[in-house]
A = this chain, B = another copy of it.
Amino acid sequence: MTDFFSGIEKLQYNPDATELAFRHYNPDEVVLGKRMEDQLRFAVAYWHSFAWPGGDPFGDATFERPWAGDTMDKARLKADVAFEMFDILGAPFFCWHDADIRPEGATFKESRRNFEEIIEYFAAKMESNKTRLLWGTANMFSHRRFMSGAATNPDPEIFAWSAATVKLCLDATHKLGGQNYVLWGGREGYETLLNTDLKRERAQAGRFLQMVVDYKHKIGFEGAILVEPKPQEPSKHQYDFDVATVYGFLKEFGLEGEVQMNIEQGHAILAGHSFEHELALAASLGILGSIDMNRNDYQSGWDTDQFPNNVPEVAMAYYEVLRAGGFSKGGTNFDAKLRRQSLDPVDLIAGHAGAMDVCARGFKAAAAMLEDGTLENKRNARYANWDSEEGKSLMNSDLASIAQTVESSGMNPQPKSGQQEVLENIVNRFV
């Protein structure tokens, strides 16, 4: 045991607690036929919690972590603390990038060896710890070699480096029993159109993703391949702008049956969407995979990656997840970082504990709304005429016939109330 979290006990469920505890998240409580732990499938993000030192574009690191430094010893200490935190939180899952967990080596080979050694270290820990891997991913945006993209780089050698990196990370994810593998293309985009060939870069990205899918099948990885959309930042424009954009990309390369989405609230907001929009859209297209449940500040134009704290918003997100059948391989990752002024070890625990409680409240409200059924009944009733014979045949008709009918029938359709306020009031009975 390290002493990083000394004095902090494993969190308990206690609805009356005013101190550190779960007031709403009871892992064993059954909601919609499953334990909440199995419904929510919470994951801790290794990078924000353990690899980010508290810097921002205008300031240096604020956190003083005993594991700071680029050595294997530090990497192991970091892993020790991480698994201690997973225990304290009772976190069923975690997620990592390769660069979060190992020091960069002088060569690809050295980086690989460092990485594989830590993966072994994780594997050993996971034998005694219940925390599993929700997903692994490769950091192909921090090192300067990736400054102009990874798969979409104008330099084929960087494409190659990236391909080798994903292979490594996919192998490790497979080895650790990961449920999914995620690709977020932070620098798969451009800074200026003036030096960019959109057609080439798109072709590179399509081919790269196909290779990843092929390799997944080759090694028998049964997890889902997930793309995480974001409209921009760090790139001026990121190719995986939002769910609709990625869908078009998948369709172009015939990958819509192979790849799903990992959707983040903060990224949805930056793209001009509500979180529930992105979730509902992905669900309607059959590509909803997993979520990053961290919010963005509505007044900030960059990714703030804050822990969720608005229960009604979280409820609407889970409502879409539940309408789509709930999580299968996916889960609720907190791609959330402490504010850089939150210096203390206890802040790390408090941030996650509060988020888990907010999610538990939101999830239970969403489940109750769905069980109540009023919202879905009203939604279906609104479209009921499309289920009539006339509605169905209309879909198979053509403009000329329809025009004839419209004119000959003297039809004069009248609008009906959309009842938005009534529906919002129904929601507020549950959230």
Contact = CB atoms under 8 A, between A and B. Distances in A.
Contacts of A54: 144
Contact of A159 (B251, B274, B394, B427): B394
Contacts of A18: 429
A246 B159 CA distance: 29
A76 interface: no
Contact of A284 (B202, B383, B406, B416): B202
A403 B163 contact: yes
B415 A215 contact: no
B341 A60 contact: no
Nearest to A56: B234
A155 interface: yes
A57 B48 CA distance: 12
A299 B419 CA distance: 20
B417 A341 contact: yes
A233 interface: yes
A245 interface: yes
Interface stretch (A28-36, A127-135, A344-352): A344-352
Contacts of A195: 378-379, 382, 418-420, 423
B157 A411 contact: yes
Interface string A311-323: 1110010001000
A343 interface: yes
A89 interface: no
Interface in A167-186: 167-168, 170, 186
A145 to B, nearest CB: 6
Identify the interface centre among A168, A237, A316, A399: most chain B CB within 10 Å of its CB.
A399
Contacts of A276: 193
Interface in A246-268: 247-249, 251-252
B399 A167 contact: yes
A269 interface: yes
A99 to B, nearest CB: 10
B428 A214 contact: no
Given A56-B57, A350-B422, A399-B212, A407 B112 contact: yes
A399 B211 contact: yes
Given A157-B411, A424-B194, A403 B247 contact: no
B420 A383 contact: no
SS class, residues of chain A in contact with chain B = helix
B407 A109 contact: yes
Contact of A415 (B144, B237, B407): B144
Contact of A192 (B186, B270, B311, B420): B420
A342 B417 contact: yes
B244 A415 contact: no
21 contacts: A58-B142, A60-B143, A107-B410, A148-B341, A155-B416, A157-B411, A164-B399, A166-B399, A167-B399, A192-B420, A194-B379, A195-B378, A196-B379, A197-B383, A241-B244, A247-B248, A269-B298, A272-B299, A309-B427, A350-B422, A357-B428
Contacts of A196: 379
A378 B284 CA distance: 43
Nearest to A391: B156
A346 B423 CA distance: 13
